[in-house]
Amino acid sequence: MSSPTEVLNDVQSRALDRELTNREKTRVVVQVDHGSVAVGANLVASTLADTLPESAYLVVAGSDGASFEAPKILVTSPEGQGSVYTNVSPDFAGKLAGNLNMRSEHDQSFFDSQKRVALDLAGEISSTVVDDYLANNGYSGLAKALTMSPADVIEQVKLSGLRGRGGAYFPAALKWEGASKAIGTPKYFVVNAEEGEPGIFKDRHLMESVPHRILEGMIIAAYATGVERAYFYINAEANLSASRIRLAVDQAYANGFLGRNILGSGYELEVEICRGAGGYVCGEETTLLNTLEGYRREPRLRPPFPTEAGLWSKPTVINNPETLCSVPFILTNGPDEFRNIGTDQASGTKIVSLSGSVGRPGVVEVPMGTTLRDIIYDIGGGTVNGRELTGVAVGGPSSGVLPPSELSTRIAPGLLHEAGVMLGAGGVIALDERLSVLETIRSLASYNAQESCGKCTPCREGTPRIVDTLDRLIAGTGSRSDLDELRYLADVVKTASLCGLGQAAGGPITSGLKFFESEFNNLVPY
């Protein structure tokens, strides 16, 4: 009987054999993801498909994260010489197809300070054909895990220090261990790919660029927790993400990574893809479970926690794509290799969605402990046209805004500042003088009010009242008592809301009053 590693080696060999016909050809990669499509990447890809000579072949990849360079083409000769072409038009793509030796110049500054674990190979390998992933040691972490006991797999992840990357940063291994020991069968696994908040787009990026890495991490996690059925819960608007995950799932079944007797190990796992029910609150774990069961999108009381009584009241593990993308690295390279990245308190890397007034916006992966200054200036290239940085919105609408004086703040799980600013899912939006910080705070507060599910009174009534109070102040019709009311409302919403989203909805207010007090004071008479 062959071991999982031997079975994988055979699968990888067949994938390499299928690539033999292309080894003497020039490799042309076009990066197509939800961001690049907006600037014509699909047209660039179709132009290349129609015009490339027989001496070249086309690979459709996701993005490498450099959104400011899209549409982007990578050309590699049979001898291994590479060229990069950025901000490509369909016309240029046609010219390039006629002369694949055209000169190119490319600045690597965006990538120099990054450390890539989850994003490794993103934008380089095919996002629609599994062979590229297999040729780059894909599914080796799964093969290794299947030679170990589930408890040993959990121990490896525990030693790595991996925490969830969805915003709460709960230790991944403890969640798996809790579900594995919980009473009740069957057990379920859910990949939370809802990601509905503004300023956060890293999970879509992963699904569109390295879908098989997410799958591999999910299968390892499901094996470790004794799960035989898993679900992908993908945002209702993330159509490209869903199509690439669906394609990857089909390929995983065809190659023996899903279904019965995975890699000859005897382990079985079935996967189903579900689309989100719409709304920011669906990213909250228990709300997600409610919608999967066909109920209203609103949170449940906890305890019990999902690991004890989740989907259909059975033990359930919920992880997001970024968390799962670190798992193959840990199994393949060992937990120490992952723990040596980052800090003693927070190991590994964090993917950051970088946007706003930066010269190089996109998706970046950096070691935990990296400063906001490094992210905005070293990687992002500073503000657009050298404008004055006036603030940084961190973590999405359920967090807050930091002033430029706090750029030395290092990214880490949980609170970055006691004023309510937290890393969350990892959004970083740079603000300049063109946009009022108060208007930004108002926009964040308004989003929280609109997205409240309405189940609990503090969030349902408190968040709209926060917006009304801000509107009075910004319109110049507020009073000194309105500032006191803002503090009170932010505290009530934080203390008394049912779920984590409501509990964090006061963050924009508390951080605004802490760091931009003078701007608020200027709105009311003394």
pLDDT of residue 146: 98
The dotted CATH code for 130-335 is 3.40.50.11540
- How many residues in total does the chain contain? 526
Kindly report the backbone phi and psi dihedral angles of residue 89, in degrees, each rounded to the nearest multiple of 5, phi listed first: -100, 160
pLDDT of residue 168: 87
pLDDT of residue 501: 85
Q: Does domain 349-435 have CATH number 3.10.20.600?
A: yes
List b or e across 245-274, with b for residues whose CB sees 16 or more CB atoms inside 10 angstroms.
bebbbebbeebbbbeeebbbbebebebebb
Measured N-to-C along each axis, helices 239-254 and 211-225 cross at an angle, to the nearest 10 degrees, of 60
pLDDT of residue 523: 87
Q: What is the pLDDT of residues 32-53, one digit of tens each?
A: 999 999 999 999 999 999 999 9
Alpha helix segments (H runs only) across 19-89: 34-37, 41-51
What is 438-521's CATH number, 1.10.10.10, 3.40.50.150, 1.20.1440.230, 1.10.3720.10? 1.20.1440.230
Using 50 as the pLDDT threshold, list the residues of the chain that sit under it.
none
Looking from the CA of 418 toward its CB, the CA atoms found within 13 Å total 0
Name the pTM for this structure. Answer: 0.96
Task: Show the tokens assigned to 188.
Answer: 């379920």
pLDDT of residue 189: 98
pLDDT of residue 526: 62
Angular region, 424: left φ>0, alpha ψ -120 to 50, beta rest: left
Rounded CA separation 520/471 (Å): 12
How far is residue 363 from each of residues 62, 200, 295, 377, 379, measured CA to CA in Å? 12, 9, 34, 14, 10
List b or e across 395-414, with b for residues whose CB sees 16 or more CB atoms inside 10 angstroms.
bbbbbbbbbbebbebbbbbe
All residues at 6 or more sequence positions from 115 whose CB lies less than 8 Å from its CB, including other chains: 341, 349, 365, 366, 367
Cβ atoms of 190 and 289 within 8 Å: the answer is: yes
Q: What is the pLDDT of residues 67-126, one digit of tens each?
A: 999 999 999 999 999 999 999 999 999 999 999 999 888 999 999 999 999 999 999 999
Residue 17, judged by CB atoms within 10 A of its CB (0-12, 13-18, 19+), counts as exposed
Task: Report the Cα 329 to chain-centroid distance in Å.
Answer: 17
pLDDT of residue 277: 86
Q: Spell out the domain ranges in the chain.
A: 20-107, 130-335, 349-435, 438-521
Cβ atoms of 40 and 71 within 8 Å: the answer is: yes
pLDDT of residue 83: 96
Cα angle 319-443-463, degrees, rounded to a multiple of 5: 75
- In 10 A of CB 291, how many CB atoms? 21
All residues at 6 or more sequence positions from 395 whose CB lies less than 8 Å from its CB, including other chains: 167, 416, 421, 422, 423, 424, 425, 426, 427, 507
Q: Which CATH superfamily is domain 20-107 in?
A: Glutaredoxin (3.40.30.10)
